[in-house]
Structure 1
Amino acid sequence: MTPRTVEPIREKWIIEKMKTILRSRSYRDYFMFLLGLNTGLRVGDILPLKVGDLRGKRYINIIEEKTNKAKRFPLNREIREYIMDYTMAMSDEEYLFASNMTKEPIQRDRAYKILKYAAEEAGAEYVGTHTMRKTFGYHFYKKYNDASMLQKIFNHSSQSVTLKYIGISQEEIDDAIDDFSL
């Protein structure tokens, strides 16, 4: 049997529970989760960000780690407020998600452990570092029903790739079969 892939968090109450768990442990970890959920960025693009990359900005300009392409990611009003709050006492050169010991960005495996702990406490399954990105995509699609725009946001080659990535294709099949009867 093949291992199950990382999936989006579909239930908003689980997202809220994870936020509460992360906030009670570390505001850094909570903010990392919020930023991932609200931008659709890959964790590899989030971790090396510095305060100056976000503070006072309406969008983030990055070179995507995976594709090596320049990409602009808008920041919604709510996340901009969190950025102001989180970075208030920080300098522009500080990493947003610095290790307490090294002051360098935390590593991907550390981000995974942070998310995995919160997910287990909240009762979420199939969580990994792509969970934030997939969750963003899933809820964006559910709200706007616009696979084309989401495809552009994610830089995917097709809408079918995007829908498969966020788990919509299988969910739609399951729902259709559930309502089908002869």
Structure 2
Amino acid sequence: MEKVQPIKNIHDIERIKLHLKESNKRNYLLFVIGINTGIKSNQILNLKLKDVVDNNYDIRQYIDIENKKYFINKVISQAIKEFIVNKNLDLDSYLFESQKSNLPINRSHLYRILNKAVNECNIDIHIGNETLRKTFGYHYYYKTRDIKYLKEIFNKASKKTLLEYLDIEDDFVECKEFFL
């Protein structure tokens, strides 16, 4: 069984975002929340509108899940606005509601959405439901090097297990010009 990978190439992420934005706003929002927060896929699928907007339908600053706060950045905020415009959604509605019921889509549906998007964008990676979360962690690590935060949200005990999970093989950064 192949290990699920993060989407490491920023260009690939942008291609998937553009593809999803043009084809399905719900799936675009799902993708954007996943790659920008690190929230577990089953928790994303169970988000309700009231988790991302207040009673006045203004976008919240954070998504609060199990006493962990996940920042709603500009990209997520814009995706939420585009998704809810011209929709008459109740605050208790699931964000990622199935077309067949009032329940959220399930993990196998999420897998099909991701797999289809990757295939249609001709991206060659082993994708799975944890790809969104791993993509967030991978890029967050390289931008911030904030091991403490990542260990907390990914529930990893050591830096080594975290980097293995995020498919980061070589953490060594060579500095040729350093001297004191």
TM-score class, shorter: 0.7 to 0.9
Structure 2 match to 1:10 = 8
Paired AA for residue 82 in structure 1? A
Distance 1:120 1:19 in 2: 13
> Which runs of structure 2 are paired with 1:89-108 in the superposition (5 Å)?
89=87, 90-108=89-107
Indicate the residue corresponding to 1:131 in structure 2. 131
3-state SS in 2 of match to 1:72? strand
Conservation of the 8 A alpha-carbon contact between 1:47 and 1:97? yes
Alignment partner of 1:74 is 2:71: yes
Q: Cα RMSD over matched residues?
A: 1.9
How high is the sequence identity, in percent, across the aligned residues? 35
| Counterpart secondary structure, 2:19 | helix
What SS does the aligned partner of 2:125 have? coil
- Give the SS at the match of 1:124: coil
Provide structure 2 residue ranges, at least 5 long, that are not aligned to the other structure. Answer: 54-58, 175-180
For the residue of structure 2 that corresponds to 1:61, the secondary structure is strand
- Give the equivalent residue in structure 1 for 2:118: 119
Please give the alpha-carbon distance, in whole angstroms, between the structure 1 residues aligned to 2:38 and 2:12: 18
- How far residue 23 of structure 1 moved from its aligned partner, in angstroms, is 2.2
What aligned pairs does 1:1-182 form with structure 2 within 5 A after superposition? 3-55=1-53, 56-63=59-66, 70-88=67-85, 89=87, 90-122=89-121, 123-168=123-168, 170-172=169-171
More helix by share: 1
Q: CA deviation at 1:78?
A: 2.7
Task: Return the alpha-carbon distance in structure 2 between the equivalents of residues 92 and 51 of structure 1.
Answer: 5
Q: Distance in 1 between matches of 2:111 and 2:170?
A: 25
Q: CA deviation at 1:172?
A: 4.2
Give CA-to-partner distance per residue, 1:91-125, whole Å, 9 cap, x none: 21111001112121001000000001111222131
| Offset, 1:130 | 0.3
Alignment TM-score, normalising by the size of structure 1: 0.83
Q: Is the 8 A contact 2:41 2:130 kept in 1?
A: yes
Question: Judging changes above 3 Å, is the alpha-carbon distance between structure 1 residues 171 and 116 closer, same or farther for their aligned structure 2 residues?
Answer: farther
Give distance in 2, aligned partners of 1:37 and 1:53.
17
Structure 1 segments unaligned to the other structure (5+ residues): 64-69, 177-182
1: CA distance, partners of 2:155 / 2:84: 29
Question: Aligned partners of 1:119, 1:59: CA distance in 2, in Å?
Answer: 28
TM-score by length of 2: 0.84
Deviations 1:53-85 (A, max 9, x none): 11131111113xxxxxx3222222331232233
Distance 1:59 1:128 in 2: 25
